[in-house]
């Protein structure tokens, strides 16, 4: 049985970021045909900056997890103020400071890398990807989770993206973005979109009763962060509601990375566990995704799996393309367009878009991508002469 390791900065029920969720979904499925291990840190929730979880071995949803202590507390928000691009040394220092980073995890890769058939490094922005992939590059795959963001232009990535044996892309848009950024690199690898399973025990009434949501409502799901468009959504919804719009409530569900001002009809709900997340998706009427720089939206796929339509920012061209392929959502450019789009979404249109989205999610995520992963990983194993 082949042995594979996922390297991801955080892992577990406390973590609701894209990298952690992707690693968890894949690792659980890989167990049917391989020996899987998660290599991660002792960082806990997405807001934690230090060691919250014990180092060593554990199991999460049946998956073997090996945690390594952080070198030092990190800062989740680290930015450059320089007008010109910082030096490579400063870029690497930024990545370590951004964290979470464990040199013990990198040491493990360097010392025991030959015990694994392949590694899957999740998120190119992770310090463990940047520092941990080079020692095992001959059997390393990168799941970039790349977005159209300023830091993708840093020179530190030029050499790094040459190193992986292969890539797995979440969408055609992500692949095109990276091909544009690195025109001289082959970037070999397939598009293997994520497949999801909704919780069978999702209960919309449980969520509505818990948070006092008695009327049709909008849902934002994910980090509550200005970088994700949350400040714009808050202001746009406030204006929409004041003008008498169809939807009177908006629930923000996720870890907060900004101030949460009281507003009529706005419900601030903390970072959810899996049950609460799927309860929220089952209960809502429309999922709003205001982020402007995504190349793939996991939230959209979750919404469609729950048979709910999405409304996305037209500035996120890749997510608009994802919506077009799914025929499962609408998009808006500003507050006025958002108001028009929301009031178009009566029950009939919501059901139609939700069903079309669900069909797309079932077709694209019925776990045929697993065979893509399996074939690519087996190819690397064969090239390495097996174990």
Let me know the angle formed at the C-alpha of 24 by 172 and 65, rounded to the nearest 5 degrees.
135
pLDDT in tens, 66-94: 999 999 876 656 565 555 678 999 999 98
Task: Tell me, yes or no, whether 262 and 183 share the same domain.
Answer: no
Task: Tell me, yes or no, whether 273 and 183 share the same domain.
Answer: no
Q: H helices within the chain, ranges in order?
A: 18-30, 88-98, 103-112, 127-132, 156-160, 172-181, 204-211, 230-242, 274-283, 298-305, 317-326, 335-344, 347-364, 368-383
Beta bridge partners of 312: 289, 331
Half-sphere exposure of 209 (CA within 13 A, CB side): 4
Task: Tell me, yes or no, whether 99 and 190 share the same domain.
Answer: yes
- The full length of the chain comes to 387
Task: Tell me, yes or no, whether 182 and 72 share the same domain.
Answer: yes
Q: Give the mean pLDDT of the chain.
A: 89
Cα 168 from Cα 30, distance rounded (Å)? 15
Domain CATH number, residue 98:
3.40.50.2000
pLDDT of res. 367: 47
Task: Tell me, yes or no, whether 28 and 54 share the same domain.
Answer: yes
pLDDT in tens, 124-177: 999 999 999 999 999 999 999 998 888 899 999 999 999 999 999 988 889 999
Which residues touch 221 (CB under 8 Å, ≥6 apart)? 253, 254, 272, 277, 280, 281, 287, 299, 302, 303
Half-sphere exposure of 6 (CA within 13 A, CB side): 31
Task: Tell me, yes or no, whether 162 and 222 share the same domain.
Answer: no
- Crossing angle between the packed helical segments 317-326 and 298-305, to the nearest 10 degrees: 20
Beta bridge partners of 330: 311
ω into residue 278 within 30 of 0, thus cis?
no
Q: Which residues in the chain land under pLDDT 50?
A: 366-367, 387
Task: Tell me, yes or no, whether 33 and 181 share the same domain.
Answer: yes
Q: Which single residue is written with the structure tokens 């930024």?
A: 94
Cα 140 from Cα 346, distance rounded (Å)? 48
Cα 102 from Cα 14, distance rounded (Å)? 19
Token pair of 259 as six digits: 């101030």
Could you write out the DSSP letters of every residue in 20-39? HHHHHHHHHHHTTTSEEEEE
Token pair of 215 as six digits: 């009327």
pLDDT of res. 195: 63
pLDDT in tens, 218-249: 999 988 999 899 999 999 999 999 999 999 99
Spell 15-52 as b/e; 16+ CB within 10 A means b: bbbbbbbbbbbbbebbeeebebbbbbbbbbbbebeebb
Task: Tell me, yes or no, whether 232 and 145 share the same domain.
Answer: no
Task: Tell me, yes or no, whether 346 and 373 share the same domain.
Answer: no
Task: Tell me, yes or no, whether 241 and 358 share the same domain.
Answer: yes
Domain that holds residue 15: 3-195+367-383
pTM above 0.75, yes or no: yes
Task: Tell me, yes or no, whether 14 and 138 share the same domain.
Answer: yes
Q: How many domains does the chain have?
A: 2
Task: Tell me, yes or no, whether 252 and 190 share the same domain.
Answer: no
Contact 299, 223 (CB under 8 A): no
């Amino acid at each position: 049985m082949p042995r594979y390791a996922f390297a991801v900065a955080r892992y577990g029920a406390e973590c609701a970021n894209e990298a952690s969720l992707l690693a968890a979904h894949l690792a659980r499925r890989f167990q049917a045909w391989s020996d899987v291990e998660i290599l991660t840190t002792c960082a806990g929730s997405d807001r934690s900056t230090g060691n919250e979880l014990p180092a060593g071995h554990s199991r999460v949803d049946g998956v073997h997890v090996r945690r390594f202590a952080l070198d030092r507390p990190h800062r989740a928000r680290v930015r450059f103020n320089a007008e010109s691009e910082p030096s490579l040394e400063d870029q690497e220092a930024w990545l370590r400071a951004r964290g979470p980073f464990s040199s013990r995890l990198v040491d493990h890769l360097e010392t025991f890398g030959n015990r694994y058939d392949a590694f899957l490094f999740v998120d190119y922005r992770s310090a463990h990807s940047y520092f941990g992939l080079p020692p095992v590059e001959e059997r390393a795959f990168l799941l970039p989770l790349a977005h159209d963001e300023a830091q993708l232009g840093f020179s530190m990535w030029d050499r790094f993206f040459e190193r992986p044996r292969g890539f797995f892309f979440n969408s055609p848009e992500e692949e095109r973005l990276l091909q544009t950024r690195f025109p001289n690199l082959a970037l070999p690898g397939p598009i293997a979109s994520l497949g999801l399973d909704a919780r069978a025990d999702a209960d919309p009434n449980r969520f509505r009763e818990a948070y006092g949501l008695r009327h049709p409502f909008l849902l934002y799901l994910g980090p509550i962060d200005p970088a994700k468009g949350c400040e714009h959504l808050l202001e746009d919804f406030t204006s929409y509601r004041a003008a008498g719009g169809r939807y009177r409530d908006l629930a923000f569900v996720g870890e907060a990375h900004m101030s949460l001002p009281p507003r009529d009809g706005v419900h601030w709900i903390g970072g959810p566990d899996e049950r609460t997340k799927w309860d929220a998706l089952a209960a809502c009427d429309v999922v709003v995704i205001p982020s402007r720089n995504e190349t793939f939206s996991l939230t959209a796929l979750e919404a469609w799996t729950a048979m709910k339509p999405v409304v996305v920012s037209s500035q996120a061209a890749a997510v608009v393309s994802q919506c077009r392929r799914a025929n499962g959502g609408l998009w808006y450019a500003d507050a006025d367009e958002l108001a028009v789009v929301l009031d178009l979404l009566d029950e009939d249109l919501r059901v139609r878009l939700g069903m079309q989205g669900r069909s797309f999610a079932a077709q694209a995520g019925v776990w045929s991508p697993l065979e893509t992963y399996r074939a690519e990983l087996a190819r690397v194993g064969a090239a390495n002469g097996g174990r």
